[in-house]
Amino acid sequence: MKTGDQIVQELPWKWGVQGRIFLIGGLGYLFDAWDIALNGFLMPLLGKEFGLTLGERGLVATSNLVGMAVGAVVWGAIADRIGRKKAFSATLLIFALFSVLGTASPDYATFLVLRFLAGVGLGGCIPVDYALVSEFSPKKYRGRVLTALDLWWPVGVTLCGLVATLMVPWEGNWRWMLATMVLPALLLFWVRRGVPESPVYLTKAGREAEARAVIDDLVARTGATPQPYAVPAPPPGSEDRAGGVVRGLRAGVAQFKGLWSFSPRITSVAWLLFVTVMLVYYAALTWMPSILKEQGYGDTASFTGTTLMSAVGIAGVAASTWLVDVVGRKRLIGISAPVATAALVGFALVLEVRTAALIGIAAFGFLIQLTIPVLYAYVSELYPTRLRASGFGWASSVSRVSTGFAPMLFGSLMWPLLGLPLTFTVLGVVVVAAVLWMAVAAPETKGRELDELDERAERDGPPGADGHGDRDERPADGAPMRG
């Protein structure tokens, strides 16, 4: 007899059912992208108003990204404890509150504190959204759905760039740029109330009656043929327990230990990929307006160049959505990530030739958005349900801690001392190192059941205990993994 989880993963895709959850989750992702991109547009404006050095400008992004790192850990752990739906809604309320307060910041120090607190709220969106969307998605389409979810990112960054460019002539423009996000965020919170709890989560939490109600509703609404299924009892100690931020932090520590005991190889791959790829992306996204402005571009022209990078990225996400199930997760990441970094080095070398520089920006925007959606789908699939939100959350958190301090180091140390071409070359070397480790240390997840690794661990012990590690894993259909 099939389990309830298998029933959900084998349902037909319907835009009015799973597609609705995809759209709502994607809008939250759009706000995350908008907020991070906004740092780059705020930096030159705040620098002008408060008389900041390049290093001090980097703190704008640092405070926000470190807040998101904290939020990713806290909300990932809370989502695994209290459920996806509750965490799904609370993150945006916290973000909206501190964004409103940020528009009234009387000085630079207050602004940094409020940007940190807004980041704590919004930092939970991506791990919670990915966990929820993945658990509602049929196995047949899951890779494409999770990859397509990242389409919202360049859309959010592009919208941010367009709005910021339009507001350049306004007095107090940076305050208006920050305020524009609040009302849509509150509207999205209202829409999110209608999203059901994840049946996969309910099953793992031992809430069988609620899980069956959601599963039966999904079967009816997708037009699938009803069939009997089992809802296995959860392992001892996995019952749902409410908790606040303090309990979330404690749970985060426990999940940290669980991630490394589950598979040191998988967790190290997830963390290294996130840190290196996102370091390259955030360095370009955060500093691109300032780089172009230092090269002689005006505010409007420098904002337009950054917007071009994001707009072309929409095509990159669309291409990755198709390629992810054709090429496979590992191979697509392994090719696109190093080539994207090479395009960034090329941009730095031809920076004085405006047409060539814009072509370099566009090439980087396409290639990096070919990488990131697949990376997010890949990492979320590497972990079982009991660790999925926390696994993704910790990887996201580690990357945001490292990338959070990167803007400050980039502006005060690397860019002034090494120059742009050598700085981007150094970043490219670490990306290649991470990709090589992925090639030997982690399995391909194309076609895999969501909890296949967890089931194997229960049968055979921790991954790697047999001396072969994760490379011996097979997908659900028994075919050898490729990659």
Q: At 415, which CATH number?
A: 1.20.1250.20
Whether 235 maps to a domain, the answer reads no
Dihedral angle computed from the Cα positions of residues 383, 387, 389 and 391, in that order, rounded to the nearest 10 degrees = -60
Which SS3 state, helix, strand or coil, does residue 198 take?
coil
pLDDT of residue 88: 66
Domain membership of residue 306 as a residue range: 4-227+246-472
Q: Which two tokens stand for residue 236?
A: 């001892």
Specify the pTM. Answer: 0.74
- As a whole number of angstroms, the distance between CA 113 and CA 292 comes to 28
Which residue, chain included where needed, has tokens 């993945």?
A: 134
Whether 89 maps to a domain, the answer reads yes
- In the chain, which stretches have pLDDT less than 70? 76, 84, 88, 235-252, 447-483
pLDDT digit string, tens, across residues 378-427: 988 888 877 877 788 788 778 877 877 777 778 777 888 888 999 999 99
- As a whole number of angstroms, the distance between CA 354 and CA 349 comes to 11
Residues 6+ apart with CB under 8 A from 166: none
Host H or E run for residue 190:
helix 182-192
Identify which of 128, 107, 14, 61 has the alpha carbon closest to the alpha carbon of residue 388. 128
Whether 73 maps to a domain, the answer reads yes
**230 DSSP β-pair partners:** 3
Whether 479 maps to a domain, the answer reads no
Whether 234 maps to a domain, the answer reads no
- As a whole number of angstroms, the distance between CA 460 and CA 450 comes to 18
Whether 477 maps to a domain, the answer reads no
Confirm if 54 and 290 have CB atoms less than 8 A apart. Answer: yes
- Number of domains observed in the structure of the chain: 1
Whether 478 maps to a domain, the answer reads no
Identify which of 185, 175, 28, 184 has the alpha carbon closest to the alpha carbon of residue 102. 175
First-residue to last-residue Cα distance in the chain: 32
Neighbour count for residue 465 (Cβ, 10 Å): 10
Whether 480 maps to a domain, the answer reads no
pLDDT of residue 450: 59
